[in-house]
Each structure stands twice: as structure tokens, then as C-alpha cells.
Amino acid sequence: MTAPAISPDTHNTFESTVRGYTVGGRAHSLSAWFVLSLRLMMGYAFAYSGFTKLVAAEPFSAGGYVANVVATNGNPLASVFAWMGSTPWVAEFANVAVPWEELLIGLGLLVGAFVRLAALFGAFMMLMFYFGNWDMAHGFINGDFAYMLVFFAVAAFGAGRILGLDARLETYDLGGETLLERYPRLEYVLG
């Protein structure tokens, strides 16, 4: 099956309607390189962070972090973090989940496989870091919030299709039909 021809007028255009409001635009042809660089940057940062936690001389421990989350400045999730820090099984789960999740998110982004799924998990982690590092000294926007938005951009632009394995996975032939044609819901994890 061949891909349909894309006319120059519609190439690099995007549009979305939410609750009756439509926004749209036309991306520059270099935008693909920018999206790729965002994917690779976040992939490297997360893979490196997870890897160094896994091979560190001392085992990674999330308990101290979640138990000592600052409850000042009106942190809306302070009680959730206090519960997580005082519940042994949650802290033990986080000790294993955080480094492995970082490593797997990073590797997924680096090779461009299951990018949307990896980016959504990365955005969730950054949301948790945002609340865990709550500080209103500079307003509501900080680095954790910005990285969360980068993950959303990587997912939204289907960055795994740009020099990534997702482009091959989506078009994998299953007896005359592509993987996405047979399983259209995979569009939510690939791309």
C-alpha cells in the first residue's frame, strides 16, 4: 500500500477543534528537525537519569524525597506526598519504578518506539515532579512544567515517525493491512 500524495498546500499544516474553537497553523519545513531534537534531548536526559540511578553504588531511594516534599506555599498535593512517604509499599514501589521508568521512557524516545506512550508517562512523571518540587517563587511555571509540555509536544507531533521505529511499526504489513489499519487504537501509543 502506498501513502497518498500530499499536496504542498496541506503539507506541514495542522488544525484542531476543541469545544467549538479551532486553531491551526502551518509549520516550517525545519520543524521536523526541531521535534526530533526535542525527542532525542528528552530521551537522553531520561535514559541517563534512569541508568545512573540503576548503576549507582547506593541503591536509589525515593522515600526521602516524597517524605520531605515541602508542604509550604500551598502545595495542593502535600498530603498525597506525605502519604506516599509514610506508606512503605509505595516508597518501595517508587524505588524500583522511578529509575526503570526513566530508563524505559528515555530508550523509547531515543529509538523512536512507542513514543506517544513514553511521552505520556514522561509528562506524568514531570507533573509529579512539578508538585513534588512545588515552589511559587517565580510563579506557576518552572522547569518541571516546561518539560511536561515538551513531552506533550513530542507526543502531539508524533515524533516517533521522524527517524524512529514507530514509522516502521505503524506500517508493518500484516497480510495486506498495516498494523495501524488492523489495530487503530495503537495510534495512541505509537507515533
Average pLDDT over residues 58-79: 75
Assign 50 a pLDDT band (cuts: 50, 70, 90).
very high
- For the chain, the straight-line distance linking the first and the last C-alpha, in angstroms and rounded, comes to 19
No. of H helices and E strands in the chain?
8, 2
Q: Return the pLDDT at 70.
A: 62
DSSP annotation of 176 reads S
Query: CA-to-CA distance for 137 and 55, rounded, in angstroms?
Result: 34
Give the amino acid at 189: V
**Amino acid identity at 136:** M
Please tell me the predicted confidence (pLDDT) of residue 53.
93
H or E element, residue 21:
strand 21-26
Note the pLDDT of residue 71. 61
